[in-house]
Structure 1
Amino acid sequence: MARWTRDERLDQPQDFVRFMMEDYLNKGGFKKKIHKGEEVWQEGEGFLASARFIRYEYSDGLFHLEAWIGKRRENALKGFVGALPKKMFRESLEELIRLLHQPLPEAREGEAGRVVTIQVPDHAKYAVPAMVVSIVGIIVGLMLSPLGGILLGSVGISLGQNARNSSKGNIARASVILGTVAVIAALVGYILNMIFLFSFFK
């Protein structure tokens, strides 16, 4: 198995860790599934962007995390191929782990109903770059390079997926749509170019 793994001694309450993981997984669009006989959390089906996977356990204060990209073949979160999506995924998990270590205020006598504020991951920083890359992907795919349009569109989709449930979720979701349009536009541009070349040399 080619997986990115981390083992952390947290010694945090079980309900806190469960809340943080559910928040991260829901924001990232992960769904619980059985993959190759194993219960995991999966985001995406690997059509336009690689599917992302997470598996974690928390027991006796020890947190174990496994993450990888790829539905058929597991890819760790390092390497040249798909470097940007891997880097973003890894950085988001590292931020999650950092926040899992955050100190929790101790409950005091008579404060049973007190609201406790904790930090949770927010990937809003990816939303605007996702929009820009997706729009550039449409232009490049139609006018310059179909391959460039596909690559930029795929990056826009990956960035948008990371931020779609953040505080800038509307921008991120629009970016995913535009990234998809960029990929389709690039494919259409490629087909039109091939038809033109075929007609020209006929």
Structure 2
Amino acid sequence: MMGISPLTLCSVLLFVGTVTGEHQAVCPNPTMEAKQGDDVILRCFLEPEFNLSASTVDWSRVDLYKRPPVHVYRSKKDDPRAQMDRYRDRTTLNHKELSRGNADLLISSVQPSDSGSYECYIPKLKVGCTIDLAVEKENQQSTTGPPEEDREPHRKVPVAAVAAGLVVVAAVVVGLIVFLVKRGKIQIG
């Protein structure tokens, strides 16, 4: 019988996790504030880097009913037919940066109606991240009162999905180890 030390087992699991190359979408600024009329860049990139040039990139408003598209990139080009009218001719995705895994979205001349939760989602990799944008009206003074309640709760589905996936993978690995120990295929210690 073969004995495996806990250190060796951890090293193997770390190596397997690294080799699988699972990607993660990162929105480094999960909350942003802007003034009416500003141009805003919603930042989204993949770790590790992945060429998105041939992938679909969906930016949508997850705080609105049916999660309407703000900007859609598919078949190596933008698809303005899919986006909400209010964003037409106001959004730009830098196509050159897609090859580096960068899916930043520029929204020109933001309006208070642009306030909300935006999701950057890559269907091929099943990864996404969310950014909450608050646009202040021109000449609006800051108040010291409590913030208004959101119309709809913010969804953090991608984070929950990743956490659930990691729990399932960990359970499978532990189950496999227990199975192999009970069958006498490996010994721990």
Provide the TM-score with structure 2 as the length reference.
0.33
| Bigger relative contact order (CA 8 A; separation at least 6) | 2
Q: For the pair shown, which has the larger CA radius of gyration, 1 or 2? A: 2
Provide the TM-score with structure 1 as the length reference.
0.32
Relative to its length, the structure with more strand (as a share) is 2
